[in-house]
Amino acid sequence: MKYSYEFKKNCIELYKQGKWADTPRGINKYYFRNYIRRWNNLVETHGIEVLKHKSHNNSFSVEDKYNSVLEVVKGKSTYQVSIELGISEGNIQNWVNNYKIYGYNGLVNKKVVNLRIQP
pLDDT on residue 117: 54
Distance CA 106, CA 95 (A): 8
pLDDT on residue 1: 60
Over the stretch 1-47, which tens digit does the pLDDT of each residue have?
688 999 999 999 999 999 999 999 999 999 999 999 999 999 999 89
Q: Do residues 93 and 78 lie in contact, with contact meaning Cβ atoms separated by under 8 Å?
A: yes
Dihedral, CA atoms, 93, 94, 98, 104, nearest 10 degrees? -80
Q: At 113, is the pLDDT very low, low, confident or very high (cuts 50, 70, 90)?
A: very low
Over the stretch 47-101, which tens digit does the pLDDT of each residue have?
988 888 765 556 888 999 999 999 999 999 999 999 988 888 999 999 999 999 9
In the chain, domain spans: 5-51, 62-113
Q: Which residues have a Cβ under 8 Å from the Cβ of 40 and sit 6 or more positions away? A: 12, 15, 16
pLDDT on residue 34: 94
> What are φ and ψ of residue 38, in 5° steps?
-65, -45
pTM above 0.75, yes or no: no
pLDDT on residue 55: 56
On the question of pLDDT at 118 being above 80, the answer is no
